Structure 1
Amino acid sequence: MGRNSTRGAESRPRGRHDGPAGGDAGGHGGHGRSRRSAPAAGGQGPGGPNRRSRRAAKGGKRRVLRWVASVLALLILGTGAAGYLYYRHLNGNIKKEDLTLGDKKMADHKANAAGQTPLNILLIGSDARDTKANQKLGGAKENFGGPALADVQMLLHLSADRSNISVVSMPRDTMLKMPKCTDPDSGKVFPASTVPVQTNESLERGGPGCTVAAWYELTGITIDHFMMIDFSGVVSMADAVGGVPVCVDANVYSHTRDGKGSGLKLEKGTTSVKGKQALQWLRTRYGFEDNTDLGRTKAQHQYLNSMVRELRKGTKLTDPGKLTGLAEAATTALTVDKGLDSVKKLYDLASELQKAPTDRITMTTMPNVYGTGNLSGRVFPKPEEAEQVFRMVREDVPLDGKASKRKAPVVKDPADAPADIAVSVRNATGTDTLGPAQGRAGTVKGLLKDSGFTRALVDSQNVEGAARTGVLFPSADLEGDAQAVAKALGIPVSQVKKSTDVSGIVLAVGADWREDGAYPAKAEDEKTPESANPLNGAEKKCMKVNPGFTF
């Protein structure tokens, strides 16, 4: 995206009704399953001599695919002069920006027992109208050259064991308090907002790094990378893929009398969309479900799932021309963080994403509630349920409800006797709407002493509220002690975290334990709330068309 369009420009009116779609999450898959060769004329059926010939035919196909892959690897990664020049050309296509512009340092990932860590990638769709191509596709001439908005935001989480992928979308109409961000080019400081503003405004506060910072402050999820795409990028990617099948349950025409709508016009059933029509699908608000951004988000999920399925068939990746076209489109269309500044790094990331099977991809929407009064039509994170989704991502819990391959962490240093373990108890029960519950730290300290932790003390300093109770420890030699504290109070071991912000073991009593009694751990906390509208990557669905937009 053009940097000048996002830096220090005057704000334009908010709430455009058909913002972009944005972030294509490129799926990368292996070779498709070869069709079984028919017996040669006069040959015998199964078990006969021609079984060997069928094996040979299959082996030949595999060799061809391996050969094509090798040629493409030489072409793209380049061992010869021409390949090297092309590799540099692709690297030069990629636009790079800072990962985060916020003041808060993102926490380090905690490795599982096998030493693996998850990957979190923020996918951003920009509505920039800063080029002729984007202006032609985006319309809305009054917004040409204005600051870009992050009208699509999806967090993609790849589990540490690479067994599953979870995607959480945030509707563009979500109202949040923005963090302080500093533009890396101009040095302009955008102070933290004192009142909630629409989340898509984060992009104009310094670039995608501010969108990353806003996500981190809201969710506490460590974000490793971002990938941003604009209108023309969506079209070029859709063309390079060769079309993505989408389905509607009735004829649809996204158009209103006063000119609103994406212009999408499809007949009932399945259509392979590409180019401008793919962009229209991703931008459609008027015509799907209740004509809100929530319906549009569902349509985006269906499109991305379908794109992944198409790419994983392998048919798009065996033609050198198509693959190089896809490489050109992807590298030209994307703006990424500086940790993804080369084709090789993008390829390595794609290889990691490919390890999760399609039926373990789960698309969700952040649980939300509608605002009231002058914020009618805007949405806010739904208390408890939004945090539940964020927590599951933070703790690498699959959103599809299936058990992952996670193992309990191996603790090399065993716990000391409870009487020898010093614990500071903090009252972190405050929320955005409620002050800290009085006396909670003292009450929980009493529970610890009843369990033999006689060195437990109340830390009376003012602390930031935490949605969920946690036990923090500063170094590996105290991990066993921290887990012993959690076990004594019935706190899940997943809530025991290493932190450089503490000098000893700290028990932060969160908003989930405001009431007296035992810690309220619930088995159902491992389930994704229905309000997140989970959609499985292998599931093929048709979008529900709003009755007022049929023909």
Structure 2
Amino acid sequence: PGPLQAPAQTRAAPPARAPGGRRGGGRRHGRDGRDGRKRRGRRALRWSALVLAVAILGTACAGYLYYQHLNANLKKDPLNIGDSKDRAAEPKANAAGQKPLNILLIGSDGRNNAADQKLGGAKDTFNTAPRADVQMLLHLSADRSNMSVISMPRDTLLRIPKCTDPDSGKVYPASTWPTMTNDSLGRGGPGCTVATWEKLTDIHIDHFMMVDFSGVVSMADAIGGVPVCVDANIYSHTSSGHGSGLKLKKGTTSVKGKQALQWLRTRYGFEDGSDIARTKAQHMYMNSMVRQLRANATLSNPGRLRDLAETATKALTVDTGLGTVTQLYDLSKELKKVPTERITMTTMPWVYSSDGNRVLPRPADAAKLFRLVREDIALDGKDKRKTAKPETSTDPAAPDDEIAVQVQNGTRSGTATAVSGRAGTIARLLAGMGFDEAVADTSTLLAEERTVVRYPSADLEGDAQRVAKALGIPTSQVKKSTDVSGVTLVVGADWRSGTKYVATEEDDTTPKSASALNGADTKACMHVDPDYTW
């Protein structure tokens, strides 16, 4: 009973009495009429229940079939197709039993279908291997209080690890020379891009999501447009035909469809025309899209939600761990827990390569940014937390005089050249302490922010920790790494002189070179190169 209850029908007036004093022609006739009405009422009730049951069953079947349809839309690939021994270790749960989530977002420039080819690009790239032109690592904190994103410029030079194509079985050997990171996608699929990130950052990646050109266009349409800002009229076009074709007036414009894709691809016309400027524009777009999704009341419309679900599932390639609509929905609920003001967008700190045409990870700053994510420290600086004390290895160390130690010079930094002879100095120090097998590797000059002891496998962990203890190096600076073949001490930029190592407290602030942008920043606006105004 309540406001949705139908009003009671008004009781009908009694029929006129028939001759003899009986109503309606007699008592028997009245009883038969009432019984007939009851039987008809019960039959109607049964039919109503049957129709309702069929309707419910039909709706459930339709819902199930549509759910299966959406699942079939999703394209799935293996998560990591590199060597399993190179995988980064999974993070440990916090005191509440929660673990962080790391998801690699990949934007493919593949032009292997008519829809993508129609959206532009040089024809000589049609039907060639796709490239991972957009790469963003999304880190969701264990307590779901904050989210951090690290973008890697597409022309970053890295050594891509060995990958095996899951479809053809073709093995792509590890690159001998630094290679542009966007080539990783063409070496067997997104699982190779994941392997490349894990190799570089030592961050365990749980999932990936990849979208192509046409997917960006259709999803922007389904959302209803994303507001973006430029500080002057812009036309991304050169006389030789380069540029995305983006044409906007000064101020804020809601872009969707092809125009949204143009925004995400624009390099000519934004700031210095570099891939770094394009990354900044992508961050602004993503932040604005998140705010738009959370504020857009039209998404409560079932039709709009259905369109978005249809579009998103057709646009995405995911790992098998996100291969159903239910899994994607569960992920979205986790992401939704983070307030917009606790989302931080960053770019991997970088330096130009020797030829000035490509970039490299900035040694100290990039390593620091990756560490903050590994240790689940928020990049907005609002909840710095101390990591758990590293456990002592259960593997007993060999006698000091039997531990082989290679010492390398890592004292070079972004602002200072390497200190000559440091590897030899510390190797002699170790030898004087009884580590007779310590030798200096004078052929290698590295850039390491903090002194570190690396070891390749669990059976050498105890030996590595013993070397660190002898020198006063914290156990937290003893790391497992497949880049070394034995216990390796890298003398870092924090130990440029002297023979006594002084451990310093780690700085947990985000490097300025990461160009952090807060998700709630509604005033962000791209600077337009005056040569591209109209």
Same fold (TM over 0.5): yes
Q: Which residue number in structure 2 is paired with residue 170 of structure 1? A: 152
- Cα deviation digits, residues 138-160 of structure 1 (max 9, x gap): 33222111111111111111112
Q: Which residue number in structure 1 is paired with residue 361 of structure 2? A: 381
CA distance in 2: counterparts of 1:367 and 1:264, whole angstroms: 27
Q: Which residue number in structure 2 is paired with residue 313 of structure 1? A: 295
Q: Which residue number in structure 2 is paired with residue 409 of structure 1? A: 388
Q: CA deviation at 1:387?
A: 1.2
What secondary structure does 2:176 align onto?
Answer: coil
Q: Is the 8 A contact 2:103 2:138 kept in 1?
A: yes
Q: Cα distance 1:414–1:197, how it changes in 2: closer, same or farther (>3 A)? A: closer
Q: Cα distance 1:102–1:510, how it changes in 2: closer, same or farther (>3 A)? A: farther
Q: In structure 2, which of residues 168, 184, 188 is the aligned counterpart of residue 186 of structure 1?
A: 168
Q: CA deviation at 1:525?
A: 2.7
Q: Which residue number in structure 2 is paired with residue 239 of structure 1? A: 221
Q: Which residue number in structure 2 is paired with residue 135 of structure 1? A: 117
Q: Cα distance 1:487–1:460, how it changes in 2: closer, same or farther (>3 A)? A: closer
- Cα deviation digits, residues 145-200 of structure 1 (max 9, x gap): 11111111111111122221111111111111111111111111111111111111
Count of residues in Structure 1 that have an aligned counterpart in Structure 2: 454
- Cα deviation digits, residues 407-431 of structure 1 (max 9, x gap): 653899999xxxxx9x979556456
What does 1:345-364 correspond to in 2, within 5 Å?
Answer: 345-364=327-346
Please tell me whether residue 511 in structure 1 is matched to residue 497 in structure 2. Answer: no
Please tell me whether residue 438 in structure 1 is matched to residue 424 in structure 2. Answer: yes
Q: Cα distance 1:407–1:138, how it changes in 2: closer, same or farther (>3 A)? A: same
Q: Which residue number in structure 2 is paired with residue 543 of structure 1? A: 526
What secondary structure does 2:292 align onto?
Answer: helix
Please tell me whether residue 394 in structure 1 is matched to residue 380 in structure 2. Answer: no
Amino acid in structure 1 at the alignment position of 2:511: P
What does 1:250-329 correspond to in 2, within 5 Å?
Answer: 250-329=232-311
What does 1:53-202 correspond to in 2, within 5 Å?
Answer: 80-103=60-83, 104-202=86-184
What secondary structure does 1:246 align onto?
Answer: strand
CA distance in 2: counterparts of 1:536 and 1:277, whole angstroms: 24
CA distance in 2: counterparts of 1:472 and 1:112, whole angstroms: 25
Q: CA deviation at 1:533?
A: 0.8
Q: Cα distance 1:488–1:428, how it changes in 2: closer, same or farther (>3 A)? A: closer
CA distance in 2: counterparts of 1:314 and 1:471, whole angstroms: 51
What secondary structure does 2:222 align onto?
Answer: helix
Amino acid in structure 2 at the alignment position of 1:181: C
Amino acid in structure 2 at the alignment position of 1:409: A
- Aligned alpha-carbon RMSD (Å): 3.8
Q: Is the 8 A contact 1:113 1:410 kept in 2?
A: no
Q: Is the 8 A contact 1:127 1:138 kept in 2?
A: no
Please tell me whether residue 212 in structure 1 is matched to residue 194 in structure 2. Answer: yes
Identity %: 60
- Cα deviation digits, residues 424-456 of structure 1 (max 9, x gap): 79556456998982353674798xx9xxxxxx9
What secondary structure does 1:384 align onto?
Answer: helix
Q: Is the 8 A contact 2:410 2:491 kept in 1?
A: no
- Cα deviation digits, residues 228-267 of structure 1 (max 9, x gap): 1100000111011111000000110101001111010100
What secondary structure does 2:229 align onto?
Answer: strand
Amino acid in structure 2 at the alignment position of 1:151: D
CA distance in 2: counterparts of 1:546 and 1:183, whole angstroms: 42
Q: Is the 8 A contact 1:363 1:536 kept in 2?
A: yes
Larger Rg: 2
Q: CA deviation at 1:398?
A: 1.6
What secondary structure does 2:300 align onto?
Answer: coil
Q: Cα distance 1:122–1:200, how it changes in 2: closer, same or farther (>3 A)? A: same
Q: Is the 8 A contact 2:411 2:494 kept in 1?
A: no
What does 1:523-542 correspond to in 2, within 5 Å?
Answer: 523=505, 525-540=507-522, 541-542=524-525
- Cα deviation digits, residues 23-66 of structure 1 (max 9, x gap): xxxxxxxxxxxxxxxxxxxxxxxxxxxxxxxxxxxxxxxxxxxx
Q: CA deviation at 1:339?
A: 1.2
Amino acid in structure 2 at the alignment position of 1:101: I
Q: Cα distance 1:401–1:119, how it changes in 2: closer, same or farther (>3 A)? A: same
Q: Which residue number in structure 2 is paired with residue 453 of structure 1? A: none
CA distance in 2: counterparts of 1:414 and 1:254, whole angstroms: 57
CA distance in 2: counterparts of 1:79 and 1:170, whole angstroms: 46
Amino acid in structure 1 at the alignment position of 2:423: A
Q: Cα distance 1:501–1:300, how it changes in 2: closer, same or farther (>3 A)? A: closer
Q: Cα distance 1:183–1:315, how it changes in 2: closer, same or farther (>3 A)? A: same
Q: Is the 8 A contact 2:495 2:501 kept in 1?
A: no
Q: Is the 8 A contact 1:94 1:336 kept in 2?
A: yes
What secondary structure does 2:318 align onto?
Answer: strand
Structure 1: stretches of 5+ with no match in the other structure: 1-77, 416-420, 450-455
What does 1:444-459 correspond to in 2, within 5 Å?
Answer: none
Which deviates the most, 316-325 or 142-151?
316-325
Which deviates the most, 345-354 or 123-132?
345-354
Q: CA deviation at 1:509?
A: 5.5
Q: Cα distance 1:533–1:177, how it changes in 2: closer, same or farther (>3 A)? A: same
CA distance in 2: counterparts of 1:458 and 1:381, whole angstroms: 36
Which deviates the most, 325-334 or 514-523?
514-523
Amino acid in structure 1 at the alignment position of 2:344: T
Q: Is the 8 A contact 1:253 1:265 kept in 2?
A: yes
CA distance in 2: counterparts of 1:186 and 1:432, whole angstroms: 44
CA distance in 2: counterparts of 1:429 and 1:204, whole angstroms: 34
Q: Is the 8 A contact 1:173 1:200 kept in 2?
A: yes
What does 1:16-31 correspond to in 2, within 5 Å?
Answer: none
Q: Is the 8 A contact 2:427 2:440 kept in 1?
A: no
Q: Is the 8 A contact 1:301 1:363 kept in 2?
A: yes
Query: Greater RCO between the two (CA within 8 Å, min separation 6)?
Result: 1
CA distance in 2: counterparts of 1:403 and 1:445, whole angstroms: 43
CA distance in 2: counterparts of 1:107 and 1:459, whole angstroms: 30
What does 1:459-538 correspond to in 2, within 5 Å?
Answer: 467=448, 468-469=450-451, 489=472, 491=474, 495=477, 511-512=492-493, 514-515=495-496, 516=498, 519=501, 521-523=503-505, 525-538=507-520
Q: Is the 8 A contact 1:170 1:366 kept in 2?
A: yes
Structure 2: stretches of 5+ with no match in the other structure: 1-57, 395-399, 413-417
